[in-house]
Amino acid sequence: MTRAQQTISIALLISSLYLACYLGLIPFPANIQNEIIPVLPFWALVSFGAYLLFKLGLGVFTFNDVPKAHQELMEQIEQARTELKAAGVDVD
């Protein structure tokens, strides 16, 4: 099973469970049925967005913690400059 098939299977399972809850096929107390279940997709979307923002912020926060990659990148930039200068391109 490929990753796409897994993702589609999980999405179909979650959406069918939500639909069963929303339509009342799975009995819940009236308070939960009327106030919580209708807003679950919005809550999931907001939670997913918060998770992605956290991952982005963590990536930015720990960006300087890779000195080896920084050194490698600087070497590649110098190599590109020397090759371009040899080809007659002004890169300053």
Torsion of CA 6, 11, 12, 13, to 10 degrees: 90
Residue 36: both structure tokens together = 């919580």
pLDDT for 65: 66
Closest by Cα among 4, 28, 25 to 16: 25
Please give the residue range of the domain that contains residue 53. Answer: 3-87
pTM, 2 dp: 0.59
CA distance 91 to 25: 68
Strands (E), the chain: none
Residue 92 lies in a domain: no
pLDDT for 60: 85
String of b and e for 11-30 (b: at least 16 CB within 10 Å)? eeeeeeeeeebeeeeeeeee
- What are the pLDDT digits (tens) for 39-50? 999 999 999 999
- What are the pLDDT digits (tens) for 50-64? 999 999 999 888 876
pLDDT at 11 over 90: yes
